[in-house]
């Protein structure tokens, strides 16, 4: 297996100032990349929905790692489906095209688990990606990101452009987005429990009925997988990044309440959506380039809760 030597490479990381991006930059440096040659584009300076901004961003770069996304939980997906479709499609498709035009050596696209069909055999295998339409609340975002896989495969076939597509499962960890309007399930629940405790509430309302399952990947593990893929994976097929550990939302809420010492009643709001029924990944393909997750889930949750408590305003 040929390994890309990162030591002398100029590397662009879109979304590099974000939750996952900071971890990716740390892992790049651990893998030998020169911090002086890593470029992070900020949305205030580059609007990647415009081709000329993408062209400026990729100029003189050897490797592009595309993490930037307009993303959130079920609430944001229901409220802004058009924005999520347009923004993610335009950012990704123009950045890929600009990178190809600029002669970038390797393009690493980080996709989304929302791209999988609503009903997918568990654990999700990469070959099931096209077996049906995504869960409705996630579909605009999921389809937009999945289109980028088709683009990379097409550009590889026609132009020999080396683009890879990685599919991390739901992420969590310190420095996550805890904004209740756009956060994913773990940070949203941690904040909800914390604020209920601050107010002295005896009840905790939670969307859905608790039956769906989810798999969660610690952000540091995800970043390590992305950098390992950048170094060593050069195939057109998508690759899942996950742990293979599945937990119900009911058990997740119970565990967070236990770790945070909340002893009130959990009230399931069954008129609210559940989202996709089950999510758990087959992670065999990632082992081709040596990736397996390392963080134990309970410990990862503790780390995330501790970080939030220290930074809660």
Residues with catalytic function: 141
Please, what is the Cα angle at 151 between 147 and 154, to 5 degrees?
135
20 has binding-site annotation: yes
In the three-class reduction of DSSP (H, G, I as helix; E, B as strand; rest coil), residue 267 is classed as strand
What region does 210 belong to: left with phi over 0, alpha with psi -120 to 50, or beta? left
192 has binding-site annotation: yes
129 has binding-site annotation: no
- What is the rounded radius of gyration, in angstroms, for the C-alpha atoms of the chain? 19
17 has binding-site annotation: yes
200 has binding-site annotation: no
250 has binding-site annotation: no
13 has binding-site annotation: no
Sheet strands (E) in the chain: 11-14, 38-41, 63-66, 106-110, 163-168, 170-172, 203-207, 213-214, 216-218, 239-241, 247-248, 265-269
- The two tokens of residue 138 are 């996630």
206 has binding-site annotation: no
268 has binding-site annotation: no
287 has binding-site annotation: no
189 has binding-site annotation: no
145 has binding-site annotation: yes
207 has binding-site annotation: yes
19 has binding-site annotation: yes
For tokens 């899942």, what's the residue?
240
Residue 243's nearest CA partner among 258, 256, 260, 224 is: 224
Residue 269's nearest CA partner among 222, 203, 172, 196 is: 203
Query: Could you give the maximum distance between any two Cα atoms of the chain, in Å?
Result: 61
Q: Cα separation of 154 and 160, whole Å?
A: 9
Cis (ω within 30 of 0) for the bond into 263?
A: no
Q: Cα separation of 130 and 120, whole Å?
A: 10
- Please give the annotated binding residues for substrate, written as ranges: 192, 207, 214
Which residues define the annotated binding site for NADP(+)? 15-21, 145, 168-171, 184
Binding residues: 15-21, 145, 168-171, 184, 192, 207, 214
């Amino acid at each position: 297996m040929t390994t890309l030597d990162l030591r002398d490479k100029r590397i662009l990381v879109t979304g590099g100032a974000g939750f996952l991006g900071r971890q990716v930059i740390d892992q790049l440096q651990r893998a030998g990349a020169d911090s002086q040659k890593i470029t992070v584009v900020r949305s205030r300076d580059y609007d990647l929905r415009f081709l000329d901004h993408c062209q400026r961003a990729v100029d003189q770069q050897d490797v592009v790692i595309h993490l930037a996304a307009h993303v959130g939980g079920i609430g944001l997906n229901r409220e802004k489906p058009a924005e999520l479709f347009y923004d993610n499609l335009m950012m990704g498709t123009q950045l890929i095209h600009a990178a190809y035009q600029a002669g970038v050596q390797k393009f690493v696209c980080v996709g989304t688990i929302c791209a999988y069909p609503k009903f997918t055999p568990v654990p999700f295998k990469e070959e099931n990606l096209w077996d049906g339409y995504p869960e409705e609340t996630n579909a605009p975002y999921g389809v937009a990101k999945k289109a980028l896989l088709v683009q990379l495969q097409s550009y590889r076939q026609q132009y020999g452009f080396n683009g890879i597509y990685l599919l991390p499962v739901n992420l969590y960890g310190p420095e996550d987005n805890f904004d209740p309007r756009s956060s994913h399930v773990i940070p949203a629940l941690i904040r909800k429990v914390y604020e209920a405790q601050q107010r002295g509430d005896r009840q905790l309302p939670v969307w859905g009925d608790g039956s769906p399952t989810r798999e969660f990947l610690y952000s540091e593990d995800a970043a390590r997988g992305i950098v390992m893929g950048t170094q060593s994976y050069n195939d057109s097929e998508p690759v899942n990044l996950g742990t293979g550990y599945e937990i119900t939302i009911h058990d997740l809420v119970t565990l967070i309440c236990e770790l945070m010492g909340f002893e009130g009643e959990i009230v399931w709001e069954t008129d609210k959506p559940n989202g996709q029924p089950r999510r758990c990944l087959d992670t065999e393909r990632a082992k081709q380039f040596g990736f397996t997750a390392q963080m134990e889930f309970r410990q990862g949750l503790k780390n995330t809760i501790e970080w939030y408590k220290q930074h809660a305003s």
